[in-house]
Structure 1
Amino acid sequence: MLLENKTGKYVKYAIGEIVLVVIGILIALQINNWNEKRKLNDTIKDVYSIVKSDLLSDIAMIDKVLLYTQFRDSIFKRVINRNISFDDYLKCNQCMTILGGFPDIKLKTRGLELLRQNSTVINPNQDSLSNEISEFYSISHTEIDVSTKEVTIDWKDNRAYFKKNMTWFEDYTNSKINEEFINYALSSIDYRNRVISFHELYYEIYLNHLRKYKKEANLLINKIKSQV
């Protein structure tokens, strides 16, 4: 009986020890899960914060481009509408060089790259915002890249034509008033057509893509703010 009593106590003690070990393991696993979840949440917040910073920087650059191009847009429209005179060209250096170049922007992509690098932990099926951000960048960057290339091709074509055929090309590249150019600009259908083409590609397509980017970026920033 004594032997059976001692054996029973040992069994109960062993079972108690096992239970305590199991409980300890479960607690450790739970703590580990909490830590991993916290690390994941911190990673997501860090990535989204960088995405937000990139978008804010892009918007600031877009605003500068839109502000800079306002005056030049008015010159384009005056040329297209034949509402510009010889004296206007003499008084306005920029009127001569509206086809001489164009401001564009380089969009920030650090946040997007981090989002891609962490795609294994930021599951789009569980986090719809990451999927929305990826789609936004995919569509908007493609639109802007394509329109930038089209504007660049048109600009290069104009420059190559002027370089090969026009005696005033040197003054043109130095933004120097040249009466031969003014006569060409006022009388040539070719020049007006080039202005129309460039205005459409840059002001009506490229800048509209930038405006669209800005609008959608602001919506994403608000969503990020509500989640981070």
Structure 2
Amino acid sequence: MIKFFRRIRQRLLSENKLSKYLVYAVGEIILVVIGILIALQINNANEQRKENEFELKILKEIRSNLQTDLEEILEDIGLMEDINNACSVVKNYILTQDEPNDTLSYYSAQLRVTPHFSPIVGGYDLLKSGDVGIIKNDSLRKEISYLYDMLYPYYKTYEEERSRFHILHSEHKLLEYFSMKFDIKQNISYYGLFFEISQEDFTKLKTDTQFLKLLSAISFENNATLDRAKRIEQSIQTLIENINSELKSD
């Protein structure tokens, strides 16, 4: 093709047809410019296609991570509801019963539980490793960032506060009266964990007013974390729905 155009230029010059040559030269320049513009348009279209594919990949990855996070936070919520119930059952048992039995072993073991939420951030890390602006929907992009950068870290502070409380106040008090056992096959176990207490220790426990106060404090700390966990659950649910809507629109 280049040789073809070169022959035309040479023939026009050899025939001294300067005006025709100039017209031809201008036409050739226009053709070159058009070719460049077409090439740029094709390249831009390819880049846009790649960006769209990358955006879809990130959104699907984040959605998958969120679905796993949702399962975990729901499980944690269930555990925390069990802890609240255990505080009530153990308190009532101490006040009304004179001998320890399997009921006390089962529910007192739940006082040892401190659920921890570990969100999966692979999709969000992938987003941050590139251009965050790859997600064109501004409100969706802000919602994703808000969940990962604000809500998740804030929830973690609640868990850390509850954990500190357990270490400083609950753990040693429970060990004062109960022997911790773990046997996943044990019928009275709570996820394999169960407590044993002697008649002598139970008699002492019944007169320990500080232990009853501890049960109220455990419930308080647990409820604060539970309330925040339910907000996290709702935020995850909403974000998954919004990502689904965005994926359907593409």
TM class, shorter-chain normalised?
Answer: 0.7 to 0.9
Counterpart-to-counterpart distance in 2, 1:220 and 1:120: 17
3-state SS of the aligned residue for 2:111? coil
- Structure 1-normalised TM-score? 0.84
Partner of 2:149: 138
Write the letter of the residue equivalent to 1:64. Answer: E
Q: Tell which deviates more after alignment, 39-48 or 98-107.
A: 98-107
Counterpart-to-counterpart distance in 2, 1:70 and 1:180: 30
**Mapping 1:1-228, distance limit 5 Å:** 6-80=17-91, 85-86=96-97, 89-92=100-103, 93-119=105-131, 121-122=133-134, 127-157=138-168, 158-161=170-173, 163=175, 166=176, 168-169=177-178, 171-172=179-180, 175-202=195-222, 204-228=223-247
Contact preservation (8 Å) 2:68, 2:120: yes
* Length, aligned pairs only: 221
Counterpart-to-counterpart distance in 1, 2:124 and 2:91: 40
Q: Alignment RMSD, CA only? A: 2.7
Higher relative contact order (CA 8 A, sep 6+): 1
Counterpart-to-counterpart distance in 2, 1:207 and 1:142: 15
Counterpart-to-counterpart distance in 2, 1:62 and 1:179: 38
Contact preservation (8 Å) 1:72, 1:98: yes
Write the letter of the residue equivalent to 1:10. Answer: Y
Q: Which one has the largest radius of gyration?
A: 2
Deviation at 1:118, TM superposition (A): 1.9
Contact preservation (8 Å) 1:58, 1:108: yes
- Structure 2-normalised TM-score? 0.77
Counterpart-to-counterpart distance in 2, 1:119 and 1:178: 62
Identity rate, percent: 27
Structure 1 residues 132, 41: closer, same or farther in 2, change over 3 A?
same
Contact preservation (8 Å) 1:115, 1:130: no
